[in-house]
Protein backbone atom coordinates (compact mmCIF):
# COMPACT_ATOMS: atom_id res chain seq x y z
CA UNK A 1 0.00 0.00 0.00
CA UNK A 2 1.23 3.49 -0.83
CA UNK A 3 1.94 5.71 2.17
CA UNK A 4 -0.63 8.44 2.81
CA UNK A 5 1.17 10.01 5.79
CA UNK A 6 4.76 11.32 6.11
CA UNK A 7 7.39 9.11 7.71
CA UNK A 8 7.56 11.27 10.87
CA UNK A 9 3.88 10.60 11.58
CA UNK A 10 4.24 6.82 11.47
CA UNK A 11 4.63 5.05 14.78
CA UNK A 12 2.90 4.85 18.15
CA UNK A 13 1.70 7.95 19.98
CA UNK A 14 0.37 8.48 23.50
CA UNK A 15 -1.81 11.46 24.29
CA UNK A 16 -0.83 13.50 27.32
CA UNK A 17 -3.59 16.10 27.24
CA UNK A 18 -6.66 17.40 25.45
CA UNK A 19 -7.91 20.96 25.97
CA UNK A 20 -11.49 21.73 24.99
CA UNK A 21 -12.93 25.02 23.80
CA UNK A 22 -14.95 25.35 27.03
CA UNK A 23 -11.71 25.54 29.02
CA UNK A 24 -11.79 22.00 30.40
CA UNK A 25 -8.76 19.70 30.17
CA UNK A 26 -8.20 15.94 30.39
CA UNK A 27 -4.71 14.68 31.22
CA UNK A 28 -5.59 11.31 32.74
CA UNK A 29 -7.41 9.30 30.07
CA UNK A 30 -5.42 6.46 28.54
CA UNK A 31 -5.23 7.27 24.84
CA UNK A 32 -3.04 5.55 22.25
CA UNK A 33 -2.75 6.01 18.48
CA UNK A 34 -0.97 3.55 16.19
CA UNK A 35 -0.20 4.98 12.75
CA UNK A 36 1.00 2.82 9.89
CA UNK A 37 1.75 3.79 6.30
CA UNK A 38 -1.94 4.61 5.92
CA UNK A 39 -3.98 2.50 8.37
CA UNK A 40 -4.46 3.74 11.91
CA UNK A 41 -5.96 2.44 15.13
CA UNK A 42 -6.74 4.31 18.33
CA UNK A 43 -8.11 3.58 21.79
CA UNK A 44 -9.44 6.01 24.42
CA UNK A 45 -10.36 4.88 27.94
CA UNK A 46 -11.11 7.13 30.91
CA UNK A 47 -9.26 6.38 34.15
CA UNK A 48 -12.62 6.56 35.92
CA UNK A 49 -13.81 3.39 34.18
CA UNK A 50 -14.47 0.78 36.88
CA UNK A 51 -13.01 -2.71 37.03
CA UNK A 52 -15.49 -4.80 35.06
CA UNK A 53 -15.34 -8.59 34.84
CA UNK A 54 -18.13 -9.21 32.35
CA UNK A 55 -20.79 -7.52 30.28
CA UNK A 56 -24.18 -7.16 31.92
CA UNK A 57 -22.81 -7.31 35.48
CA UNK A 58 -24.54 -4.05 36.38
CA UNK A 59 -26.20 -1.14 34.64
CA UNK A 60 -23.59 1.32 35.92
CA UNK A 61 -20.70 -0.84 34.70
CA UNK A 62 -22.27 -1.22 31.26
CA UNK A 63 -22.78 2.54 30.99
CA UNK A 64 -19.14 3.14 31.93
CA UNK A 65 -18.03 0.79 29.16
CA UNK A 66 -20.37 2.55 26.74
CA UNK A 67 -18.30 5.74 26.99
CA UNK A 68 -15.09 4.13 25.70
CA UNK A 69 -13.84 5.07 22.24
CA UNK A 70 -11.64 3.64 19.53
CA UNK A 71 -11.58 3.27 15.77
CA UNK A 72 -9.62 2.26 12.70
CA UNK A 73 -9.39 3.38 9.11
CA UNK A 74 -6.98 5.32 6.90
CA UNK A 75 -5.23 8.62 7.61
CA UNK A 76 -4.38 11.07 4.83
CA UNK A 77 -1.99 13.97 5.44
CA UNK A 78 -1.57 17.01 3.20
CA UNK A 79 -0.22 20.51 3.84
CA UNK A 80 -0.20 20.23 7.62
CA UNK A 81 -3.64 18.68 7.95
CA UNK A 82 -4.69 15.09 8.64
CA UNK A 83 -7.99 13.52 7.63
CA UNK A 84 -9.03 10.25 9.27
CA UNK A 85 -11.26 8.18 7.00
CA UNK A 86 -12.87 6.00 9.62
CA UNK A 87 -13.86 2.50 8.53
CA UNK A 88 -15.33 1.29 11.81
CA UNK A 89 -15.15 2.00 15.51
CA UNK A 90 -16.37 1.19 18.98
CA UNK A 91 -18.84 4.07 18.91
CA UNK A 92 -21.42 4.30 16.09
CA UNK A 93 -20.78 8.07 15.90
CA UNK A 94 -17.75 10.36 15.79
CA UNK A 95 -17.14 13.07 18.40
CA UNK A 96 -15.25 15.45 16.11
CA UNK A 97 -16.09 14.87 12.42
CA UNK A 98 -13.42 17.23 11.11
CA UNK A 99 -9.77 17.04 10.07
CA UNK A 100 -6.90 17.92 12.40
CA UNK A 101 -4.20 20.54 11.96
CA UNK A 102 -0.89 18.86 12.84
CA UNK A 103 2.21 20.63 14.19
CA UNK A 104 5.41 18.63 14.72
CA UNK A 105 7.52 19.55 17.76
CA UNK A 106 10.54 17.24 18.07
CA UNK A 107 9.17 13.97 19.48
CA UNK A 108 5.63 15.25 19.99
CA UNK A 109 2.85 16.59 17.82
CA UNK A 110 0.12 19.11 18.54
CA UNK A 111 -3.23 18.38 16.93
CA UNK A 112 -5.85 21.12 16.69
CA UNK A 113 -9.40 21.08 15.40
CA UNK A 114 -9.88 23.75 12.71
CA UNK A 115 -13.11 24.70 14.49
CA UNK A 116 -11.22 25.30 17.73
CA UNK A 117 -13.13 22.51 19.49
CA UNK A 118 -10.01 20.89 20.95
CA UNK A 119 -6.22 20.76 21.09
CA UNK A 120 -4.35 17.51 21.78
CA UNK A 121 -0.71 16.81 22.60
CA UNK A 122 0.77 13.48 21.52
CA UNK A 123 4.17 11.99 22.41
CA UNK A 124 6.01 9.38 20.38
CA UNK A 125 6.56 5.96 21.98
CA UNK A 126 8.48 4.38 19.10
CA UNK A 127 11.79 5.37 17.53
CA UNK A 128 11.60 7.07 14.17
CA UNK A 129 11.34 4.75 11.17
CA UNK A 130 9.64 1.84 12.99
CA UNK A 131 8.81 -1.60 11.60
CA UNK A 132 5.15 -1.79 10.55
CA UNK A 133 2.83 -4.74 9.95
CA UNK A 134 -0.91 -4.27 9.43
CA UNK A 135 -3.15 -7.30 9.04
CA UNK A 136 -6.83 -7.54 8.04
CA UNK A 137 -8.90 -10.59 8.88
CA UNK A 138 -10.32 -12.09 5.71
CA UNK A 139 -13.92 -11.57 6.85
CA UNK A 140 -13.18 -7.84 7.21
CA UNK A 141 -14.20 -7.79 10.87
CA UNK A 142 -10.83 -7.24 12.54
CA UNK A 143 -7.58 -5.37 11.95
CA UNK A 144 -4.26 -5.86 13.76
CA UNK A 145 -1.55 -3.20 13.72
CA UNK A 146 1.92 -4.18 14.93
CA UNK A 147 4.45 -1.34 15.12
CA UNK A 148 7.77 -2.27 16.72
CA UNK A 149 7.01 -3.27 20.34
CA UNK A 150 3.34 -2.26 20.24
CA UNK A 151 0.17 -3.81 18.82
CA UNK A 152 -3.51 -2.97 18.59
CA UNK A 153 -6.43 -5.24 17.71
CA UNK A 154 -9.61 -3.53 16.51
CA UNK A 155 -12.63 -5.78 16.05
CA UNK A 156 -15.76 -4.89 14.11
CA UNK A 157 -19.31 -5.72 15.16
CA UNK A 158 -21.31 -7.87 12.78
CA UNK A 159 -24.37 -5.82 13.75
CA UNK A 160 -24.80 -2.36 12.22
CA UNK A 161 -25.91 0.04 14.97
CA UNK A 162 -27.92 3.26 14.60
CA UNK A 163 -25.80 6.45 14.52
CA UNK A 164 -26.14 7.26 18.22
CA UNK A 165 -23.71 7.17 21.16
CA UNK A 166 -23.53 3.73 22.76
CA UNK A 167 -24.71 5.11 26.09
CA UNK A 168 -27.91 6.33 24.42
CA UNK A 169 -28.45 2.99 22.72
CA UNK A 170 -27.91 1.16 25.99
CA UNK A 171 -30.59 3.28 27.66
CA UNK A 172 -33.10 3.32 24.81
CA UNK A 173 -32.53 0.25 22.65
CA UNK A 174 -33.98 -3.21 23.07
CA UNK A 175 -30.50 -4.62 22.39
CA UNK A 176 -28.71 -6.02 25.45
CA UNK A 177 -25.23 -5.11 26.69
CA UNK A 178 -23.68 -8.22 25.15
CA UNK A 179 -24.87 -7.17 21.70
CA UNK A 180 -23.93 -3.50 22.03
CA UNK A 181 -20.65 -3.64 23.96
CA UNK A 182 -18.98 -6.89 22.91
CA UNK A 183 -16.46 -5.20 20.61
CA UNK A 184 -12.78 -5.63 21.42
CA UNK A 185 -10.18 -2.94 20.91
CA UNK A 186 -7.00 -3.93 22.74
CA UNK A 187 -3.65 -2.14 23.04
CA UNK A 188 -0.66 -4.38 23.80
CA UNK A 189 3.05 -3.98 24.50
CA UNK A 190 5.82 -6.49 23.92
CA UNK A 191 7.33 -7.46 27.26
CA UNK A 192 9.99 -9.48 28.99
CA UNK A 193 7.81 -12.62 28.84
CA UNK A 194 8.38 -12.68 25.06
CA UNK A 195 4.83 -11.92 23.99
CA UNK A 196 2.46 -9.01 23.51
CA UNK A 197 0.64 -8.26 26.78
CA UNK A 198 -2.67 -6.41 26.66
CA UNK A 199 -2.40 -3.22 28.71
CA UNK A 200 -5.73 -1.56 27.91
CA UNK A 201 -8.89 -2.93 26.33
CA UNK A 202 -12.55 -2.10 25.79
CA UNK A 203 -13.10 -5.52 27.39
CA UNK A 204 -11.38 -4.88 30.76
CA UNK A 205 -11.01 -8.56 31.69
CA UNK A 206 -8.65 -8.92 28.70
CA UNK A 207 -6.12 -6.61 30.35
CA UNK A 208 -3.11 -8.57 31.55
CA UNK A 209 -3.72 -11.37 29.05
CA UNK A 210 -1.57 -12.17 26.03
CA UNK A 211 -2.44 -10.92 22.57
CA UNK A 212 -1.48 -14.19 20.93
CA UNK A 213 -2.25 -13.32 17.32
CA UNK A 214 1.30 -12.42 16.28
CA UNK A 215 4.94 -13.10 17.07
CA UNK A 216 7.67 -10.62 17.98
CA UNK A 217 8.39 -9.91 14.30
CA UNK A 218 4.79 -8.82 13.73
CA UNK A 219 3.89 -11.91 11.70
CA UNK A 220 0.36 -13.23 12.12
CA UNK A 221 0.08 -16.71 13.64
CA UNK A 222 -3.45 -18.01 12.87
CA UNK A 223 -4.77 -18.47 9.34
CA UNK A 224 -7.50 -16.30 7.84
CA UNK A 225 -5.61 -12.99 7.80
CA UNK A 226 -4.01 -11.04 4.95
CA UNK A 227 -1.22 -8.48 5.08
CA UNK A 228 -2.41 -4.91 4.35
CA UNK A 229 0.80 -2.99 5.07
CA UNK A 230 4.42 -3.91 5.64
CA UNK A 231 7.41 -1.64 6.13
CA UNK A 232 10.84 -2.63 7.41
CA UNK A 233 12.34 0.21 9.41
CA UNK A 234 15.79 0.56 10.88
CA UNK A 235 16.98 -2.86 12.03
CA UNK A 236 16.77 -3.19 15.82
CA UNK A 237 15.90 -5.70 18.51
CA UNK A 238 12.48 -5.39 20.08
CA UNK A 239 14.15 -5.45 23.48
CA UNK A 240 15.76 -2.13 22.61
CA UNK A 241 12.36 -0.57 21.89
CA UNK A 242 10.30 -2.20 24.60
CA UNK A 243 7.40 -0.29 26.04
CA UNK A 244 9.08 -0.04 29.43
CA UNK A 245 12.11 1.72 27.98
CA UNK A 246 10.07 4.13 25.89
CA UNK A 247 7.01 4.84 28.08
CA UNK A 248 6.29 8.37 29.26
CA UNK A 249 7.26 9.31 33.33
CA UNK A 250 -21.33 8.18 13.54
CA UNK A 251 -20.91 5.99 10.97
CA UNK A 252 -17.64 6.29 9.05
CA UNK A 253 -16.50 9.91 8.96
CA UNK A 254 -13.32 11.96 9.05
CA UNK A 255 -13.23 12.36 12.81
CA UNK A 256 -10.45 10.66 14.77
CA UNK A 257 -12.23 9.83 18.02
CA UNK A 258 -14.82 7.13 18.13
Q: Residue 202 above 60 pLDDT?
A: yes
d(CA 189, CA 238): 11
Q: Residue 132 above 50 pLDDT?
A: yes
Please say whether the beta carbons of 54 and 70 come within 8 A: no
pLDDT of residue 97: 87
Is residue 256 in a domain?
Answer: no
pTM score: 0.90
pLDDT of residue 136: 98
Is residue 63 in a domain?
Answer: yes
> What is the CATH number for 79?
2.40.128.280
How many domains does one find in the chain?
A: 1
Q: Give the structural domain span for 169.
A: 7-246
Please say whether the beta carbons of 198 and 187 come within 8 A: yes
Is residue 155 in a domain?
Answer: yes
Amino acid sequence: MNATVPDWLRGVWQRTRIDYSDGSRDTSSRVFWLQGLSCYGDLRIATTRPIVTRLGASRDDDLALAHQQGATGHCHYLDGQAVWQREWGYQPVVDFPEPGDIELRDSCIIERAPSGAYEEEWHRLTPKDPDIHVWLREDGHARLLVIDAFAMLIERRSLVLPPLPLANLLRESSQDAQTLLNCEISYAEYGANSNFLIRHSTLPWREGQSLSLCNQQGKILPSGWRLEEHYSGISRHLSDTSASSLALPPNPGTGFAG
